[in-house]
Amino acid sequence: MFTLEKKVAVITGGGSGIGKAVALVFAQQGATVQVIDLNTEQANQTVLEIRQAGGEASGFTCDVSRQTAVTETLQQIGKIDILVNSAGISHIGTVETTLEEDFEKVFRINVKGIYNCMYAVIPLMKQHGGGVILNMSSVAAWVGIPDRFAYSMSKGAVAAMTLSVARDYIKESIRCNSISPARVHTPFVDGFLEKNYPGREAEMFQKLSQTQPIGRMANPDEIAKLILYLCSDEAAFITGSDYPIDGGFIKLNN
């Protein structure tokens, strides 16, 4: 079950965090993985780990906010069965403290980046008989989270784009879903704590972990396993849906 043999999977943001975990799990399940990341060194490291484990992978340096670059990269890959849009950034701030340039940066990467990738991949999927798109939304799209104005905006847009694409291309055998993680323990979290809470990293990590009713953050591999299911043939009846993976964050926080 959940085999991705003979599937070509493109993972944006595949050099680190959730994207890297997805790339590794997909390769383990037999996919030929195409890692796209802005950081060449990190993309190459993911590719190296996949190849050392006996899998097939290639890496591409690409800024997802640039449509021409995205289109050229995906056309170079050619046949694409699965696209996982994992590339994204966060931002801290209310509407009053969010500068215009910060708002535009979040929009450019988190919203326009996913649009660019879907814009480029859908003609390729139509050409080869269909495919699967998985977009990274967030619990921030569904509940109010303090100091996450721009980030919440971007993830709400991702959820809406997912529904639109699922509706428009259902007859083309293209499925499109999203997932909404709560906090996930990635290198980004460690860097955020080190930058903003020097000397209090352990205390703040515990505090952030406790915001999930389950009492901890998710591991990237746990997120990757849900993505694997939604991108596999076992999930062939699922499209136009968002799946929270949040340790009870949305439904159990009162």
Local structure of residue 107 (DSSP, 8 states): I
Q: Are 124 and 167 in contact (CB under 8 A)?
A: no
Positions marked catalytic? 151
Q: Are 248 and 212 in contact (CB under 8 A)?
A: yes
Backbone angles phi, psi at 209, to 5 degrees: -65, -35
Going by C-beta distance under 8 Å and a sequence separation of 6 or more, which residues neighbour residue 71?
A: 116, 119, 120
Q: What are the start-end ranges of the H helices in the chain?
A: 17-28, 40-52, 67-77, 100-106, 112-127, 149-168, 187-196, 201-209, 220-231, 249-252
Q: Are 57 and 33 in contact (CB under 8 A)?
A: yes
